[in-house]
Amino acid sequence: GVTENQTMYLVMEFLDGMDLESLVRQHGPMPAPRVVHVLRQVCDSLEEAHGRGLVHRDIKPANIHLGRVGCREDFVKVLDFGLVKAAGVGPAQSLASMEGVIMGTPAYMAPELALGDQVDGRADLYALGCVAYYLLTGEQVFTGDTVLKVISQHLHAAPLPPSERTELPIPAALEHLVLACLAKRPEERPQNARQLAQALDTIDGMTWGDEEANRWWSQHHPPQGPTSDAIAL
């Protein structure tokens, strides 16, 4: 908007919480029930986007915010649709070979996205599998000292099961689902966000609700109200 004295301003929602990248860096891997709770909400956001024919293309922990909304804790918001693209549009130039440019984040990049093939919502589900892996282990699925080495592993290497990279218990059904999301071929993954959400709902023992969330936030991040600071553009 513009004020009466022609000062431009931008109004943004106040988010009370933190992104998942910061949360894991500060507090370590999440217990499996909380990971399922988070993933389930991300699936809801992706189902809405994919239903509108949109692929996010940059799902990663830093773009998923977890915090308080109203009386709810552990409320997920999927952020930064700056790389969104209509599903099925392509083929595009390979993201691994664009001179000086990488569209997306290599550590969370689906093989078909790296190759410049046509993409649909299953590319976001691959990335969400990478996010789940990070939340459970505190480690990225693949690492390397160059971008191309990381991308090459996404194209060709089999990931270690997350249970081999953490001492926290991971139910076999959850591990199987995470690895299914990380399948190289889109047709071997869950086929849409709703299907993934339904599979998450069938995993036994994943009890993380308001009581657990309230206890965690009260202990680690007591409520903070919004400030009156503003930035004039």
Tokens of 151: 């991308």
Quick check: 151 and 114 in contact, CB under 8 A? Answer: yes
Tokens 């410049």 belong to 116
Q: Which of 16, 44, 58, 117 is catalytic?
A: 58
Is 210 an annotated catalytic residue? no
Tokens of 126: 């691959």
CA distance 95 to 169: 36
Tokens 């997350």 belong to 162
Tokens 């299914």 belong to 180
Cβ burial 180-217 (10 Å sphere, 16+ → b, else e): ebbbeebeebbebbeebbebbeebeebebeeebbeebb
In this structure, which amino acid lies at residue 205?
A: G
Of 87, 131, 83, the residue nearest 107 (C-alpha): 131
Quick check: 161 and 175 in contact, CB under 8 A? Answer: yes
CB atoms within 10 A of CB 21: 15
**Catalytic residue set:** 58
